[in-house]
Amino acid sequence: MNDLVIDIKNLSRRFGDKQALQDVTLRVPRGGVFGLIGSNGAGKTTLIKHVLGSHYAQSGSVSVFGFDPVADPVEVLGRIGYMSEDREVPGWMRVQEVIDFTRAFYPGWDSGYASELLELFELDPKQKTRSLSRGQTARVCLLLALAHRPELLVLDEPSSGLDPVIRRDILTAIVRTTADEGRTVLFSSHLLDEVQRLADRVAILNCGRIILSDELDTVLDSFHRVTLRFDGSSDLAPSLVGAIESKGHGHEWTYVYRGDREQLIRAAKSLNAQIVHEVPLSLDDIFVCNVQRS
Ligand code: ATP
């Protein structure tokens, strides 16, 4: 991973007595879609704000395109398209005025693409932004983040406020197209089906710590729910190497297992157990199981 767009090392952040981020190390390679997953208050927005240089690193370091976003905002911010969780736009402007205003900051603004998005999102350029619905405001924000075709698109909870059609079809298409063009998308979400649909890589944040970070396929391949049948009956789950959760009774025990299949077969054999059922875990299950454990 030589070509890193974001390289965060041992980042910690405290607000008063609240530890919002703790020793976070995160690498986002160029190209592809990176999904940042976490429960409410896990630290997703705080992490994103460090990427944008809105927060300085109290300890550790943050590098975006090889620059420190606090020390070199000009090198960094012009190359990022950002949709904030708050979806803030000046209420006294009309949609077209917000677009013109934002365009002035970006030499690479693509007016043709902005017009296409305006139509795709069914926005009226003459409408005052104050009178837009929450979903329409989200569409304006998405347009503003996209129309200068940024090298890095940062979306904080992009689905929040968007209806299912925009979310499932249009957002998916936009995110995938951005990645297919060799650009990078970092988005935060607690909608696990969405992350599973969109992301190439994922990281799980829990209480300010990264508890898992890898390619999505690797994550999905490494967790299984497996039921073993043992010769002897037991009141306690027989200890299976790689198991992170267990339940059952007597001869049959079901485990959440982390590891590859070969290892599982070897581990079962060493216990004289038969694998009677095995299913991969969804990202949702993997998230819950890892958060509970940590
Ligand atoms: P959500 O999914 O609810 O948006 P999140 O994962 O984005 O949550 P953050 O907004 O990063 O979480 O917040 C992480 C923690 O840091 C929370 O406990 C939050 O209350 C705290 N926090 C964030 N910003 C501040 C701030 N400016 N001052 C004080 N505490 C803050």
DSSP alpha helices (H): ranges in the chain? 44-51, 73-77, 95-103, 111-120, 134-146, 164-165, 172-180, 192-198, 216-222, 261-270, 283-293
Instruction: Identify whether the C-beta of residue 252 lies closer than 8 Å to the C-beta of residue 227.
Output: yes
Give the whole-angstrom CA distance, residue 152 versus residue 143: 14
Residue 117, SS3?
helix
| Phi, psi (rounded to 5 degrees) for 270 | -65, -20
Q: Which of 12, 21, 39, 44 should be mutated for ligand 1, with most atoms under 8 A from CB?
A: 44
Instruction: Identify whether the C-beta of residue 129 lies closer than 8 Å to the C-beta of residue 93.
Output: yes
Give the whole-angstrom CA distance, residue 157 versus residue 109: 24
Q: What is the pTM of this model?
A: 0.91
User: Using CA positions, which residue lies closest to atom 23 of ligand 1?
Assistant: 46
User: 3: which 2 tokens?
Assistant: 């070509």
- Ligand 1 centroid to residue 268 C-alpha, Å: 43
- pLDDT tens, N- to C-terminus, the chain (294 residues): 559 999 999 999 999 999 999 999 999 999 999 999 999 999 999 999 999 999 999 999 999 999 999 999 988 999 999 999 887 888 889 999 999 999 999 999 999 999 999 999 999 999 999 999 988 998 999 999 999 999 999 999 988 878 888 888 788 888 988 999 999 999 999 889 889 999 999 999 999 999 999 999 999 999 999 999 999 898 999 999 889 889 999 999 999 999 888 888 998 999 999 999 999 999 999 999 888 887
The type of residue at 106 is: Y
Output the ligand 1 site: residues, CB below 6 A.
15, 18, 20, 38, 40-46, 85, 190
Domains of the chain: 4-207 (3.40.50.300), 220-293 (3.30.70)
* Strand pairing class (80-83; 152-156): parallel
- Ligand 1 centroid to residue 29 C-alpha, Å: 25
